[in-house]
Each structure stands twice: as structure tokens, then as C-alpha cells.
């Protein structure tokens, strides 16, 4: 079973959706046979590397709403996050560009660290108020998950993995991703949004049922002679 997840570190519902999916996967009896592939996406590719206004003002401008409406939206995000044990601190959040963070995540994949780093970057953005467009901050985060600081800095100083990030974003658009989180299941089904844990559980069960080999008995066969784990009978 293969599940591809398009998400952005700066997307409030991506962090929530990732947590809900993880809860469903953890309880799934066949979780060891589920391959999860992370894909990059940017909600705001034109975001600055340094935020120049307040979080509410920045969000309001980007979403064409009033500052009061932005603050109301923040409260909704915070409430949703709390349902899965996450803390969103919109008073200190740095709404900056996520492209370099995506490049770093793609580099980390070769070390088996992409999933862990993704979770840490989301926490850095929504909980810790860290600017994930800042190179020094990204290097520090990379070190926290066991990655080499010098190598991480070299990647960030270059344009390495930029093509991969662009390709994954374009791939998502080609298959119909218009918002994130977006889950693609065995390249057969698409699930959009931070769905409830129960829904993800149903999805995993459905995929498993479809993947199990099914056999039909040809008409005319009797019980026949066969052995079980206990005995052999005619």
C-alpha cells in the first residue's frame, strides 16, 4: 500500500491532517505494509523570507480579509490543532517562505529522516515561532533530528533539490491537487483535507481489502483431501 502526501510546512491543516493520519496508521494492524511518501507543495510561493508585518496583518493581506477576520481564523486553527494535541502560537508565528525548508526535507530523505524532519519543521513553524526560511534556523533543526550541520548548510547555500521540489509541486497540480493536505492512495484514490481519524481508518481498511488476494472456486469441486495445521483428512 502506497500513500503519497502533498503538504506544506506553512499549512495549518497539513500539520493537523498529518497527526490524524498518524493516529489512524498507528492503530492499523498492517501498518508495516504501508509506504508513506511525502511530496512538497507551496501554498504561497511568493512569501517573503522575513515577515515585515504582524501575523494577523500578513495573513489578512494574503487572504484578502480584515485583520479581525484573520484573528478569528487563527482561533479556529488553534482549536482544531488542540483536538490532536498540537499547540499553535499565532502570536509569535513567522509566516515566511517554505521553499528552502522543502529542499532540506528532500535532501534528508536519503538518510531516512524526511518524515521526522517534516514533523519538526511543522512544529518549528506553528508552535515555536521559528523562521523556517532562515538558513541558521534550518541547520539547527536539521541537527536536532540527527543530520550533519555542515552538509545541511551546504545544501541550503546551493540550489540543490530545487528541481525536485518544483517537480513534486507540478506533479501534484497535474493529478488535481488544488489544496493541501492531499493524500493519494495507491494512485487510485484522492483524499483532500485534514479528515477525522475515523475516516483515515476506513480508508486504510478499504485499501487493505482491495490489496488482499482473492480466489474463486471453480464450480464442481468437492471438499477434497487436504491438510490443515491440525490434521490431514479425506
Residue 234 placed within a domain: no
| pLDDT per position as a tens digit, 132-151 | 999 999 999 999 999 999 99
Q: Could you tell me the sign of the dihedral formed by the alpha carbons of 64, 41, 115, 5, in that order?
A: positive
Nearest in space to 38 (alpha carbons), one of 12, 2, 86 = 2
The interaxial angle of helices 12-26 and 197-211, nearest 10 deg, is 50
Element (H, E) at 6: strand 2-7
The phi, psi pair for 37, rounded to 5°, reads -115, 125
Average pLDDT (166-180) is 95
Read off the pLDDT band of 214 (50, 70, 90). Answer: low
Residue 135 placed within a domain: yes
Average pLDDT (74-88) is 98
What is the C-alpha to C-alpha distance for residues 123 and 137, in angstroms, rounded to an integer? 13
Q: Is the pLDDT of residue 25 over 70?
A: yes
Q: Is the pLDDT of residue 18 over 70?
A: yes
Residue 132 placed within a domain: yes
Residue 110 placed within a domain: yes
37 near 2, Cβ under 8 Å? yes
Greater confidence (86 vs 233) lies with 86
Cell digits of residue 217: 472456486
129 near 52, Cβ under 8 Å? no
Residue 224 placed within a domain: no
Residue 220 placed within a domain: no
Q: Is the pLDDT of residue 216 over 80?
A: no
Question: What are the distances in angstroms from CA 53 to CA 96, 101, 136?
Answer: 11, 21, 22
Q: What is the pLDDT of residue 211?
A: 83
Q: Is the pLDDT of residue 228 over 60?
A: no
CATH, residue 39: 3.40.30.10
Q: What is the pLDDT of residue 222?
A: 60
Residue 25 placed within a domain: yes
Residue 9 placed within a domain: yes
Percent composition of the chain: helix, strand, coil (DSSP 3-state, to 5): 50, 10, 40
What is the C-alpha to C-alpha distance for residues 31 and 1, in angstroms, rounded to an integer? 9
Average pLDDT (197-224) is 79
* Domain assignment of residue 173, given as a range: 2-211
pLDDT > 70: percent of the chain: 91
- Helix (H), strand (E) counts: the chain: 9, 6
Q: Is the pLDDT of residue 166 over 90?
A: yes
18 near 5, Cβ under 8 Å? yes
Q: What is the pLDDT of residue 224?
A: 54
Predicted model pTM: 0.89
Q: What is the pLDDT of residue 212?
A: 74
Cell digits of residue 14: 497539513
| Total tally of structural domains belonging to the chain | 1
Q: What is the pLDDT of residue 223?
A: 59
Amino acid at each position: 500500500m502506497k500513500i503519497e502526501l502533498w503538504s506544506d510546512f506553512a499549512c495549518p491543516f497539513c500539520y493537523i491532517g498529518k497527526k490524524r493520519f498518524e493516529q489512524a496508521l498507528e492503530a492499523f494492524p498492517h501498518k508495516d505494509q504501508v509506504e508513506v511518501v511525502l511530496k512538497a507543495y507551496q501554498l504561497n510561493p511568493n512569501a517573503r523570507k522575513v515577515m515585515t508585518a504582524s501575523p494577523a496583518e500578513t495573513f489578512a493581506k494574503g487572504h484578502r480579509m480584515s485583520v479581525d477576520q484573520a484573528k478569528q481564523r487563527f482561533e479556529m486553527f488553534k482549536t482544531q490543532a488542540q483536538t490532536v494535541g498540537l499547540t499553535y502560537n499565532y502570536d509569535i508565528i513567522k509566516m515566511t517562505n517554505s521553499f528552502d525548508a522543502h529542499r532540506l526535507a528532500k535532501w534528508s530523505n536519503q538518510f531516512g529522516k524526511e518524515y521526522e524532519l517534516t514533523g519538526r519543521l511543522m512544529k518549528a513553524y506553528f508552535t515555536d515561532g521559528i523562521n523556517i526560511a532562515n538558513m541558521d534556523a534550518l541547520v539547527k533543526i536539521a541537527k536536532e533530528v540527527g543530520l550533519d550541520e555542515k552538509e545541511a548548510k551546504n545544501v541550503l547555500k546551493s540550489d540543490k533539490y530545487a528541481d525536485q521540489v518544483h517537480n513534486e509541486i507540478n506533479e501534484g497540480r497535474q493529478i488535481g491537487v488544488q489544496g493541501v493536505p492531499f493524500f493519494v492512495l495507491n494512485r487510485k484514490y484522492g483524499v483532500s483535507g485534514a479528515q477525522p481519524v475515523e475516516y483515515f481508518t476506513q480508508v486504510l481498511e478499504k485499501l487493505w481489502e482491495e490489496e488482499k488476494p482473492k480466489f474463486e472456486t471453480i464450480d464442481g469441486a468437492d471438499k477434497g483431501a487436504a491438510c490443515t495445521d491440525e490434521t490431514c483428512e479425506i
